[in-house]
Amino acid sequence: MRILCFNVGSSGLRVAAFEVRENELHEVIPRTSVGRGPWQGALDASFVPDAVAHRIVRGVKTDVAAELWTPAVNAEIISTEDLAPTHDPQALALLANTQAAFPQAAQIVVYDSAFHATIAPNHATYAVPEDWRAKGIRRVGYHGLSCAYAAHWLSLYAGNPRRAIHAHLGNGCSVTALVNGKSVATTMGYTPLEGVVMGTRSGSIDPAILLHLQNAGMDAAQLRSALFRESGLRGLCGTNDMREIERRMARGNAKALLAFEVFIASVCGSIAQMAAAAGGVDVLTFGGGIGLHSAPVREAVCTNLAWMLRDAGVYAIDVQEERTMALAALHAQMPA
């Protein structure tokens, strides 16, 4: 069985393909980032998949790992795509495109939130009116594919620690508390906007700011665009590229320095919060483009949290979300 994986992120698209041989998953097309360009160039013309897996960030089913695409499933995803506007509309457009390209292949949606179905009620529940909670307003959590891979990696290479904190730092950022490989708390909430300062997303802010701006004349579309696409690092210094921020810092750019320091403060506060949820920290892992490639970010975080990380292991992991997607798609195709 051949599984083609499309991982739509807020800053681009990654493509990978796997083949099942003797009950093991083998990568046959290495992970390739195609940015916002066409994906066809990442594939060998002779490659024909049996299944195509698509990362869906939000969706309706937050406790289902993966399922076969149907028109009803498509309608469910559309009903919540405004909650993940930088991901899911693009993922659905890509799904329609791959249906035309591979009509014989099963199209499978893989949900990014399923890993967080184990979050404890005290961390999942918002202190909002009961009728809001009855409508499903709760912490959902995201970057579950990254967290699942981190938990698997730790079980193989780091002695399977009981209390781990996984910091997924990229254009989107979150921090998750793992206890015995399960998510017990995470920083992203009902949408992927809450929590850590991100590339173009604000992270957590005082919600009354939105009421104030709304009263001043901004509508929902303007607020959504500002919060998801014009805030975060970009809002602070004009770029969401950490490499560029580091270059500007080296030249003494004050805005870049402020953006870096705000980001580090946000990450450190979130790690401390997750350590409290886990009851301590045995291991801290960094993943995502910034977490893996920015030594200055890792150094600043670890320096600021030295009091907490003195006896903890620290690792930078090349998170392979696409492998997690392929496994989830395989299980959806061949349920136990």
Q: Which residues are catalytic?
A: 112
Count the neighbouring beta carbons within 10 Å of the beta carbon of residue 11.
16
* CA separation, residue 234 to residues 47, 226, 255 (Å): 39, 11, 10
What would the two tokens of residue 34 be?
Answer: 């195609």
Report DSSP letters for 232-278, one per residue: HHHHHHS---HHHHHHHHHTT-HHHHHHHHHHHHHHHHHHHHHHHHH
What would the two tokens of residue 145 be?
Answer: 């594919």
Report DSSP letters for 47-93, one per residue: ---SEEEEEESS-S-TT--EEE--HHHHHHHHHHGGGSTTTHHHHHH
Any idea what DSSP says for residue 172? S
Amino acid letter at 76? E
Rg of the Cα atoms in the chain = 20
Is there a contact between 25 and 47 (Cβ–Cβ < 8 Å)?
no
Angle at 171 between CA 200 and CA 330, to 5 degrees: 130
Q: DSSP E strands: which ranges in the chain?
A: 2-8, 13-21, 24-35, 51-56, 66-68, 106-111, 163-169, 173-179, 182-186, 283-287, 313-316
What would the two tokens of residue 85 be?
Answer: 């506007």
Q: Which residue has the tokens 């093991």?
A: 24
